Structure 1
Amino acid sequence: MSKKKRDIPVFEHPLIETHCHLDYLKERPLAEILAETQRVNVERVITIAVSPDNLAPVRELAQSASWIYGTQGIHPHDAELYTDDVEAEIRQHCSHAKIVAVGEIGLDYYYDNADRAVQRDVFRRQLQLACDADLPVVIHSRDADDDTIAILQEFEQSLPRRGVIHSFTSGPGLARYALDQGWCLGFNGIATFNKAENVRDIIRMTPVEQILLETDAPFLTPVPYRGKENAPFYIPFVAEKVAEVKALEVADVVRQTYQNSRRTFYRLQ
């Protein structure tokens, strides 16, 4: 049973939405969504690329407003669509000031939408792109903890900037490895789900200095708005839940995660 809906909290300190997919939002006009996002004091939004056909739309969105930024990368679901031409397109646009990371890249052995060997190869190729571009990385890892660790270990010395393992639902082994290596972990509406105690356990073990807030909109809408399309303006509920789980003041979580976001995505202005 979902909780009674309530107004979205507005905090004095601004928030940064570090992971959403603006071009996938369909329930309301994007202009309305962005206006509501600003109303709840979200200062910057990072919209994430996942496939060859949305690399350009993400770049266009990042150019549409000063407070919107983007990434370039291919999700493991579409790893079999990764070609030399796609790689060249990503490489070309990684130099743009509004592109703040290589991502969303990684491994997904839950859905297995692409051959696992292809996923691993494409993951490595895009990590090398991040090395070459001096950009952080946005990583997706699902049911692939061991291989994610093994591949990241290959790049421990060559990757100049870490980044984030977003929508973290993996086990404590991957969490400990990532945190020890200086990565951030990204948490979203899953943290509010009744059955997500495993995610809350990871939040408890993660230093607040290594937590990033996200929504992954239009997916994973937080309680109390589950059932509706997710949107960046719901991110205050994620901040509240992280604060509750870690027994911290929400204002302190908002301030610290804001600093974490600026540190991780150094091109945010």
Structure 2
Amino acid sequence: MLIDSHCHLDFDVLAEDIEGVLQRANDAGVDGMVTISTRVRNFSTYAALAERYENVWCSVGTHPHNAHEELDVTVDELVRLSAHPRCVAIGEAGLDYHYDMSPREAQAEGFRNHISAARQTGLPLVIHSRQADEDMAEILEEETGKGAFPFILHCFSSGAELARRGLALGGYVSFSGIVTFRNAEEIREVARFVPEDRFLIETDAPYLAPVPHRGKSNEPAFVRHTAEHLAEARGVDLEAIGSQSTENFFRLFGKASRV
């Protein structure tokens, strides 16, 4: 059993062939997936997908690229929307200093609001962090000091130090197709030291297709390739990765029920 803990089924390339995408995922042994919010204002789209398909869940949140456009989204609104029975997480939210598509102050403000919502609801916060390791670690440590909250560093592409600091706070780390890339040895090294009860797998589809599909549109079925490479990096078999990552998923995403 495999779970794709992070994909974007509402993006056109997947939405236009949603039945085929889900069938191919099923054929590949992928039994569930979370379609992740990038704009709170589009929550009805994510919720509709999760309502329609029993093996799809959703989240609610604002991607850091869009943070400046949704600073009017309050913590109370995030909490209210997250009460939807198919919504199992807050986010994705965080910091992206690679593209800086939103002012950094707006990213931080939005991120802290999402942390508050995760703390209030007990739902895991799906964190996007790119080239912002120090600021991310400092915010996580500061906010945890105000009260713990569950979180996952999704599509991990940061340095080992952020992984260690996040793990020390009780966080999880999720690995995407990046772990299959030839030049990603640093990420594979992180994959080796993350405790067995703290890792998840994902696609971030339609982005970051793993080897052997690199350069193509990604989809949930391809999470199997990420699992295979993660198994190799950790020195275990695919069945062990599938079983452990699935157990970890349902522990962290406690609102999701097994289908």
Rounded Cα–Cα distance in structure 2 between residues aligned with 1:85 and 1:110: 24
Rounded Cα–Cα distance in structure 1 between residues aligned with 2:7 and 2:120: 25
Say if 2:205 is the partner of 1:217.
yes
RMSD of equivalent CA atoms? 1.5
Identity among equivalent positions (%) equals: 36
TM-score (norm 1): 0.91
TM-score (norm 2): 0.94
Q: Which runs of 5+ in 2 are unaligned?
A: none
Residue 159 and residue 165 in structure 1: after superposition, are their counterparts in 2 closer, same or farther (change >3 A)? Answer: farther
Partner of residue 11, structure 1: none
1:21-51 deviations in whole A, cap 9, x for unaligned? 0011416611111111112221111000012
Partner of residue 152, structure 2: 164
**Partner of 1:122: helix, strand, or coil?**
helix
Partner of residue 107, structure 1: 95
Q: How many residues align?
A: 256
Partner of residue 110, structure 2: 122
**1:12-91 → structure 2 map (5 Å cutoff):** 14-26=1-13, 29-85=17-73, 89-91=77-79
Q: CA deviation at 1:130?
A: 1.2
Q: CA deviation at 1:150?
A: 1.1
1:112-162 deviations in whole A, cap 9, x for unaligned? 011111111111111111112221110001111111111111221445541
Rounded Cα–Cα distance in structure 1 between residues aligned with 2:123 and 2:93: 13
Residue 174 and residue 47 in structure 1: after superposition, are their counterparts in 2 closer, same or farther (change >3 A)? Answer: same
1:182-234 deviations in whole A, cap 9, x for unaligned? 21101011111111112111111212221100000000000001122100001
Q: Identify which range, 225-234 or 76-85, moves more after superposition.
A: 76-85
Rounded Cα–Cα distance in structure 2 between residues aligned with 1:221 and 1:189: 6
Q: Which runs of 5+ in 1 are unaligned?
A: 1-13
Q: CA deviation at 1:88?
A: 5.0
Residue 60 and residue 158 in structure 1: after superposition, are their counterparts in 2 closer, same or farther (change >3 A)? Answer: farther
Rounded Cα–Cα distance in structure 2 between residues aligned with 1:94 and 1:53: 13
Of residues 159, 180, 188 in structure 2, which corresponds to 1:200? 188
